[in-house]
Structure 1
Amino acid sequence: MSGPPPAVAAVRVAVRRTLARLDGPVLVACSGGADSLALAAATAFETDRAGLVTVDHGLHPGSAAVARRVLEQGRALGLHPVRAERVAVGRTGGPEAAARTARYAALERAARQEGAVAVLLAHTLDDQAETVLLGLARGSGTRSLAGMPAVRGLFHRPLLGVPRAVVRAACDGLEPWEDPANADPALTRSRVRHDLLPALEAGLGPGVAAALARTARAARDDADALDDLAAASTPFRDGGAGVEDLAGARPAFRRRWLRAAALAAGCPAGALAAGHVDALEALVLDWRGQGPVHLPGGATGARACGRLVLTPHR
């Protein structure tokens, strides 16, 4: 008896490896697109302890109908429970970051309410490559080049090592919905996907996406090690640190301390950019009596009496 097509087998194997590390029910985050639908189908095949959640961002007139269709597909695959989460997308960090923030909050809420030990996300190797290119363009340092982690808290990405073409081939026989935002040239990731990455493949030859994904793994290992060392040696206490301690530190540590302190003061991670850390660092290294630095989320950083103090929004 012949087995499943190679693409279907590859996706199932990737999902099986993730499920082997989990003990309990899971939810598949499914937009109805080819990648997440293939993930949902593979997960339904591999376990009977999986449900589905779709997030309706309300960003286009037919979003509610799309969500209903995704729920129908989830039920047809045998997933249970299936649920839709309607979210209100804010403005912090731009449209893409705001939608992502709202989506992840909804997924966490659904997992908590359903007692799921994990939420499976359908990001592929190509998505990882795009994330590395976006990080490179932002100039945000090693952590940004590290791309997306395979596991972060509740969120697991089984397909992070599987090319998008393979995942989409595994969707054969299903009926995916194509989000028009994926082809919107106004969105940065869309331009990277449809213009930049193909141009790199054309100019440098095939394998660019896989090479970028390998770069992400190496950068993540380095960033994790430096983050651990920085966390263990931070001079910040109660939101403040001595300027002399900060100025005398290695730049890699100092900038990690500043970023961590900003996050602790309430800055949204997706909105905190390298420029904000630069501005805080200038209060340490290029002090000319300048006023406070205003950060995302309403936090501020200011120098006073030989200390750099970060204050949350009040």
Structure 2
Amino acid sequence: MAPLAPPVAAVRLAVRRALTGLPGAGPVLVACSGGADSLALAAATAFVAPRLDRRAGLVTVDHGLQPGSAERADRVARWAAESGFEPVEVVPVTVAGRPGGPEAAAREARYAALVAAARRHGAAGVLLGHTRDDQAETVLLALARGAGPRGLSGMPARRELDGVPLLRPLLDVPRDHTREACAALGLTPWADPHNADPAYARSRVRADLLPALVEALGPGVVDNLARTARLLAADTAALDELAAGALAEVRAAGGGLSVEGLAALPAAVRTRVLHSWARELGASPAALSHRHVAALDALVTDWHGQGAAHLPGGLPVRRQAGRLTT
């Protein structure tokens, strides 16, 4: 028997770690575009899941943004069926008309389709093929936007979206490993032209910025960026837990939040409390920005009789009688 190629072993081990102890008896669904990352993930899941007494299914989303996208999706689905995945679905989505830029709109459509598919099949979770390199790119993009710790935390290894667990087993796996795993298994990945299109910020980071950093600082910079995300994610989780308790404590009788209670909180906790409260009031998470939270914070820490702070959608928040209220 030929020895197992190390990249294949690395991807399989990452998938095993993600699936071990996963609650629920339903299948796991792999989100697979046919690119090297998701194809390597799918092949590993097809091997690992049955050995953990778990069914593996596959969903490929057709965004309809490129010529031949439907044929590409059908090829992925045929490969999945031949590889033993069950269920297998091709899900067409409509991207046009959604808010945000093209990347954000496609991402929103894709995740909505994956969540719906998971619910249809009672899936225990959806596996996504983001790698360590994707995480490093995400950190650089967040840094360029001036994001805080939450943005710099990058992509979580596990989160729930509308009650569906989304798992990213490959966040510690280099992108080169997924390509090498596909080659070792005789799989031919699809090369998404959007990944090389300089119109997209992530493509420019991938093609120009990250290679320049590696050349200037050495190959360890990719792992260091990904490790930064892990460390900040742990800190952010701890602060979020503190903020959840603080929000309960500063609620004022009659509604709103106590200004005195808010002012006594550390800034990192107070701004998280205000962010959570704004979402409770109906502010869209996608539209709620640092600017909105800073305006709420100014009603607490820089009060000089100013008017209302306006949340996304035009909802006004005022300071009245020692409370923040709508």
Stretch of structure 1 that moved more, 21-30 or 37-46: 21-30
Separation (CA, whole Å) in 2 of partners of 1:292 and 1:15 = 46
Residue ranges of structure 2 left out of the alignment (5+ in a row)? none
Q: Does 1:66 align with 2:72?
A: yes
Q: Report the Cα offset of residue 304 of structure 1.
A: 4.2
Separation (CA, whole Å) in 2 of partners of 1:236 and 1:246 = 9
Change (3 A) 1:155 1:179: same
Amino acid at match of 1:195: D
Q: Report the Cα offset of residue 73 of structure 1.
A: 1.9
**Match for 1:155 among 166, 171, 176?**
166
**Partner residue of 2:301?**
285
Aligned length: 308
Q: Can you list the C-alpha shifts for 1:222-251, whole angstroms capped at 9, x where unaligned?
A: 111111011011124697313333333211
The alignment partner of 1:27 has SS state of: strand
Amino acid at match of 1:133: L
Q: Can you list the C-alpha shifts for 1:278-312, whole angstroms capped at 9, x where unaligned?
A: 233234334452344241xx2624214243336xx
Contact 2:292/2:309 (CA < 8 Å) preserved in 1? no
**Partner residue of 1:218?**
231
Separation (CA, whole Å) in 2 of partners of 1:205 and 1:239 = 54
**Partner residue of 1:126?**
133
Q: Report the Cα offset of residue 26 of structure 1.
A: 0.4
Equivalent residues in 2 for 1:193-204 (5 A)? Answer: 193-204=206-217
C-alpha RMSD of matched pairs (Å)? 2.0
The alignment partner of 2:257 has SS state of: strand
The alignment partner of 1:303 has SS state of: strand
Q: Does 1:269 align with 2:285?
A: yes
Stretch of structure 1 that moved more, 181-190 or 225-234: 181-190
- TM-score (norm: length of structure 2): 0.87
Amino acid at match of 1:149: P
Contact 1:181/1:190 (CA < 8 Å) preserved in 2? yes
Equivalent residues in 2 for 1:1-314 (5 A)? Answer: 1-23=1-23, 24=25, 25-48=27-50, 49-89=55-95, 90-153=97-160, 154-172=165-183, 173-234=186-247, 235-236=250-251, 240-287=256-303, 288-295=305-312, 298=313, 300-306=315-321, 307-309=323-325
Stretch of structure 1 that moved more, 1-10 or 273-282: 273-282
Contact 1:236/1:261 (CA < 8 Å) preserved in 2? no
Separation (CA, whole Å) in 1 of partners of 2:39 and 2:173 = 15
Separation (CA, whole Å) in 2 of partners of 1:61 and 1:272 = 35
Q: Can you list the C-alpha shifts for 1:104-125, whole angstroms capped at 9, x where unaligned?
A: 1211111111011010010101
Identity value in percent: 59
Change (3 A) 1:69 1:263: farther
Q: Report the Cα offset of residue 38 of structure 1.
A: 0.7
Q: Report the Cα offset of residue 217 of structure 1.
A: 1.1
Contact 2:288/2:311 (CA < 8 Å) preserved in 1? no
Residue ranges of structure 1 left out of the alignment (5+ in a row)? none
The alignment partner of 2:29 has SS state of: strand
Q: Report the Cα offset of residue 144 of structure 1.
A: 1.3
